[in-house]
Structure 1
Amino acid sequence: MDICPNRSRTVNFLIVATASVAAVLVVHGVTFLIARRIGRYNIVDITWGLGFVAIAAVAATLGSGDLFRRLLLLALTSLWGLRLAWHMYVKTKGHGEDPRYRDLLGGNLAPGNVIRRIFGTQAVATLVVALPLMLSATLGPAPAALNVVTGIGAAVWLAGLTCEAVGDHQLRVFKRDPANKGAIMDRGLWSWTRHPNYFGDACVWWGLWLVSIAGWISLATVASPVVMTYFLVQVTGARLTERYMKDRPGFREYCSRTSYFVPLPPRSHTR
């Protein structure tokens, strides 16, 4: 049973949501100014994880719901978001613009076009995906029966974070070796799935959603992990990455023996 009446919970949700919008606007606004100054917009990938950390912090601070769940979601989101931000910082440091953003802008670097196509889109996506964090922060303690769901969610989150971090590390080590220049990474987790980082990301958000569940009303936010997974699989994640890799030598053969998204044992021969 919730610790506050429905009306108070609604007011608290509006406060959390409004403050979250403000936090995301500040994070993306500062990033936009930095991007204009240095002349490349791929640093928005660093902001992606930080935007969720900001929302989790707002929810934990302003939410009036169960304190343990607020702090747990803040800790889990921060571990994921800060690791991802650092990884993207290291990955993009010293490099030029990402071809994806260059193609997306089509040479039109007008501030309005950049905000609409990159920063505004990511800000809206961040708010949509983070809805479970906002709502959960306003809900009281979950029934004891849901403790199992919380445990499962934490396990899914941990599996996803591990898969994402290990995949990123393996790819980074692979690229450091000059002998691998131009080669397809097909070792470790990358022999089980062509996108262990994106698969791990999806698991992280399904895990966070499960942890956020405090009652029937929490099911209303299931669209958030669904949207995140859809984008990771079909839009900005795996599908877009493969569009840029399809003509690389050996990529088709790699696809023929390696699962697209969900990790599966590699096929031993091409069909």
Structure 2
Amino acid sequence: MNVFLFAIILLLIFMTLVFFVALWRKDNSIVDIAYGLAFVLVSWTGFLSYGSSHSRQFLLLTLITIWGLRLATHISLRKRREDGEDPRYRQWRESWGKTFIWRSFLQIFMLQGTIIFLVSLPILLVINKPGGELGALDLLGLLIWLIGFTFEAVGDWQLLRFKQSSANRGRIIQSGLWRYTRHPNYFGEATLWWGIMLIALNSPSGWLAVISPLLINFLLLKVSGIPMLESKYQGNAEFAAYKNRTNAFFPWMPKPKGE
């Protein structure tokens, strides 16, 4: 067995266990907490089973562990403030009816596991064949990861603080990083995976790592990220004005009000 097959089997087992926990709790949205943890699990078990203690492996393990644990912690804290299952998953629960169980297993948990495997390709490639010593490409990747992680972590923190105030209920955050992009956390998420990809390029088959950030960008920009989130604000005048002034993804100076 190689590290790639190992990761597939491990994710199949892990996501199946999360599925049964979700059935017991009647809350499929716990899959969002499992998302970041799955990367940490796959990375460390893959490294302990197939790694060679190369410095590039340790670098990527550190970056993915920091990112995955922070994301899981953030989503856990956010869920504490919410009432039950996330509305997206609740809507699927209601609309799927009698097919809910098998569709949940395949369309939520197994699909999530497949995405995690594809996105984790950079670390798996480096575990398999780490390449030469650390160099300029690793440093560039680390710097890009730091930019992305900062946008994601700070953006999430600013949004959490904004929502904690009862005066902001029903309002749209437009301060901090959110003044320059409507989705600083999504921009950060996409950016940090480009940084991880650059580090993985040092692996002999590292070009395959480009699948990871390309998939993340596609999901955030076209599928479950910006389109799904912004659809909730259709008809909201405050959001319409905010949308007219502020870039959706890449940070930039906002347009003056009234333009």
Normalised TM-score (structure 1): 0.89
1:65 touches 1:136 (CA, 8 Å); kept in 2?
Answer: no
Matched, 1:103 2:102: no
**Match runs of 1:68-147 below 5 Å:** 68-93=55-80, 94-105=82-93, 106-108=95-97, 110-142=100-132, 147=135
- Summarize the Cα distance change of 1:140–1:123 in structure 2 as closer, same or farther, 3 Å threshold: closer
Matched, 1:267 2:255: yes
**Corresponding position of 1:159:** 147
In angstroms, what is the RMSD of aligned CA positions? 1.7
Gaps of 5+ in 2: none
Distance in 2 of aligned mates of 1:65 and 1:232 = 34
**Match runs of 1:58-77 below 5 Å:** 58-65=45-52, 67-77=54-64
2:201 touches 2:209 (CA, 8 Å); kept in 1?
Answer: no
Task: Tell me which amino acid in the other structure corresponds to 2:156.
Answer: D
1:124 Cα offset (Å): 0.6
User: Which of 34, 38, 44 pairs up with 2:21?
Assistant: 34
Normalised TM-score (structure 2): 0.93
1:59 touches 1:133 (CA, 8 Å); kept in 2?
Answer: no
**Identity rate, percent:** 34
**Corresponding position of 1:52:** 39
Distance in 2 of aligned mates of 1:235 and 1:136 = 29
2:19 touches 2:28 (CA, 8 Å); kept in 1?
Answer: yes
1:202-246 Cα deviation digits (max 9, x unpaired): 011111111112245211221221011110111111111001122
Paired residues, what number?
Answer: 256
**Corresponding position of 1:16:** 3
SS of residue in 2 equivalent to 1:250: helix
1:89-133 Cα deviation digits (max 9, x unpaired): 111125222222233442436321111111111011111111121
Distance in 2 of aligned mates of 1:38 and 1:65 = 40
- Summarize the Cα distance change of 1:180–1:152 in structure 2 as closer, same or farther, 3 Å threshold: same
1:84 Cα offset (Å): 0.1
2:141 touches 2:194 (CA, 8 Å); kept in 1?
Answer: yes
Gaps of 5+ in 1: 1-13
